[in-house]
Chain A
């Protein structure tokens, strides 16, 4: 590419369907499409098995009836609705839980090396927020696992099967911005090859954002360095909304200092949290299920312990996760990856010592709003209006099955169920003659602007310090606990950071594997996501799920039993109704959420 690129000079590569992102949801979508004969490509900024799905540990939650033959997807649905603090869409949750077993068995047939019970069926372990019989039958064990490397096993299995089906991969290609036609339909993206700097317009009838989360908006996160919300940011810049952006999950057990995830499966297998006095404090906060309460509940309890002076260590600023009582055999068999991670990053061997942990940003419940077919929508005159050509799946999307708080093990299920659904829908739509009109040279030019501005920069701000500033701001003002006056300060800081983010200086203009260019664009993407988060968090005047307001400590169903919808053009929040109309069961009405 040049410093200034014109639409007439860049090449167009045409596809029927384009999937941005090579993680679990992207590769499940592509797998469905590869079999269909449509010309499909996956555009991934990293080789697909380097995607963040690989870090998922504990498992994939699904009522396959292995640990308990009487298990029922409706119980899973009830748990998910409750876990979401009642703002998950019940039609989507119903689809997730009822279609789930099919999607999980498919993975097994593809070769995923699940751990096994003695009878040869898939191993399932207990996870937080799981119950039998609609909360009345005690703890369930519903999370299917491949030791504590389920994400790795799942991602590699999907990549392997994409090889089998001959999927086209544009590996180490970076998507910059969406291209829209005059009818506000999405017709593909501008992207470049990271390896050689070749710039192209990737034209497509269906563009799927499967770009995962954006945990890197926070200073402390379990997320990979590549989790910069690229797809969501592209959609926001193109003027499309984001839903429930105030809802960020802080995982109770990130390794203190390093941020690496320690799976909830540790507590599922019998581990528990203790404060400096060695007290198992979750017995006070969640007397029934203790350490296996919802993640938001456990994370807040930990922060309260620390704030009240009962944290562990010299600075009393973390909590201990105790596993040694489980014994070496269980730990080596069920949690080998955790033993390895703890030794590397916390310098402790969990067979003998507790792991120092602290709540750490983990998952974005919000995202580009879609229906259960992955179709993204906009709001026009307070009515959902499908955006032709634009789709989203996985963490980048907000279907919404996780509402205000995701249950452990539900993200991997989300990836495969909705990746599959999106692929099936696109197939149907394109084969029945659907599609979008071509974009003009001017349309393409418009989408090149941001990249050109960065490439042409001869002065301005450096990426790394501005990124740190952004992450500190989000960590300080929009973390586990939030308060109006602090968030106002944070919003002011964000205004200043916006100025810098728009004026980054790209010193290195070379084309071969220029990671500085990639990191500058990623920072701009992070900013879009951070700003949406901040404005949504400041707007929701209640506490629900992961969104905990000091100044509004109660849930307010009269005013806020709804989604928040962020409009990137006016930078305002509007409310959108939650779906309470599942088709096969009665809706679960909101009740007080206790564990």
Chain B
């Protein structure tokens, strides 16, 4: 094969036509300039319009186009092909561990269910002031690295614990958001939030292998957030024992 050709191997599956998924090979001329994997998909779709994938903002903030690119989860729109080509080849697969709807499109129901489970909204039943609730810049800084999550699922679908127990282990993405609300000085439900996470599965299935950190396209650190939750759970447990008078 000449070095001017790029070979793309893509996971294909259309439930109405295919009994089993298969890998389809496409050969295209190497683009003159470096392009993103999403641009590559657009090029391929121009010649084979049956290819299906999600996309929206094309600049890495909407989280639509998470996929597995040469074995690593990432966003197609901000992954330059130069950074992933191996021997003139690129392999594209759907995010691992979730049911495939078609081609590169996965069913994210389970992922969203975990997100909803952690009650991802500010809880504060005190009467709101006429203006904003005050928060110091230092307290606000505690949310940095947490609120920026785009729910692309690159982290949770790279996590073996989530593959095994997607219904019981909350997963790195939703745990990052759980901590975002635990860390928010305006939220008053810390105790209940911790209690809802205190079973053996929700948090403790994380064994700190850090796949989530290496997969996150926004350079966030779910592993660190999970560590913070674990510390809070531990000190919370001590408190409960103390208040019961049991040492």
- Shortest distance between the CB of B94 and any CB in chain A (Å): 11
B136 at the interface (CB under 8 A from A): yes
Q: Residues 214-246 of chain A: 1 if any B CB is under 8 Å from the residue's CB, otherwise 0?
A: 000000000011100000000000000000000
Chain B proximity of A59: nearest CB distance (Å): 14
Q: Are B132 and A121 in contact (CB under 8 A)?
A: yes
| Interface: B116 (CB within 8 A) | yes
> Which A residue sits closest to B147, measured CB to CB?
A113
Find residues 138-153 in chain A having any chain B CB closer than 8 Å to their own CB: 146, 149, 152-153
Q: Of residues B49, B58, B147, which shows the largest number of chain A Cβ atoms within 10 Å of its Cβ?
A: B49
Within 8 A of A (CB), among B32-77: 45-46, 49-50, 52-64
Considering the chains assembled together, what is the distance between the CA atoms of A462 and B58 in angstroms? Answer: 23
Does A52 lie within 8 Å of B56, measured CB to CB?
Answer: yes
* B165 located at the interface, meaning its Cβ lies under 8 Å from any Cβ of chain A in the complex: no
A315-345 at interface with B (beta carbon < 8 Å): 337, 340-341, 344-345
Main secondary structure of the interface of B (DSSP, over half): loop
A511-537 CB mask vs B (1 if < 8 Å, else 0) is 111111000000000000000000000
For B21, list chain A residues within 8 Å (CB). Answer: none
**Residue with the greatest number of chain B CB neighbours at <10 A, chosen from A114, A117, A510:** A510
Q: How far is the CB of B31 from chain A (nearest CB, A)?
A: 13
**B208 interface residue, CB < 8 Å from A?**
no
A117 to B17, CA, bound (A): 58
Specify the chain B residue showing the minimal Cβ separation from A107. Answer: B132
Q: Is the CB of A514 within 8 A of B52?
A: yes
Given contacts A105-B132, A108-B133, A514-B52, A163 and B120 within 8 Å (CB-CB): yes
Which of A104, A110, A122, A156 is the one whose CB lies under 8 Å from B147? A156
B205 beta carbon closer than 8 Å to chain A: no
- Residue on A with the closest CB to B181? A111
Answer whether residue B23 sits at the interface, using C-beta atoms and an 8 A cutoff: no
Q: Find out whether the CB atom of A49 lies under 8 angstroms from the CB atom of B50.
A: no
Q: Are B122 and A225 in contact (CB under 8 A)?
A: no
What distance in Å separates the Cβ of A54 from its nearest Cβ neighbour in chain B? 5
Docked CA distance A52–B63 (Å): 11
Complex Cα–Cα for A156 and B61 (A): 12
Q: Is A204 an interface residue (CB 8 A)?
A: no
Measured between beta carbons, the chain A residues less than 8 angstroms from B116 are 163
Does A47 lie at the interface of the complex (its beta carbon under 8 Å from any beta carbon of B)? yes
Tell yes or no: A164 within 8 A of B by CB. yes
- Quick check: B148 and A149 within 8 Å, CB to CB? yes
Taking a contact as CB atoms under 8 Å apart, the answer to whether B122 and A226 are in contact is no
A224 touches B56 (CB 8 A): yes
* CB interface residues, B 76-121, toward A, < 8 Å: 78, 101-103, 105, 107-108, 112, 116, 119-121
Give me 28 A-to-B residue pairs in the complex whose CB atoms sit less than 8 angstroms apart, sorted by A's number: A46-B56, A49-B63, A54-B62, A64-B131, A109-B122, A109-B128, A109-B132, A109-B133, A111-B187, A113-B140, A113-B147, A119-B134, A120-B135, A121-B131, A121-B132, A121-B134, A149-B148, A160-B120, A226-B56, A261-B59, A464-B45, A511-B16, A512-B14, A512-B15, A512-B16, A515-B52, A515-B53, A516-B50
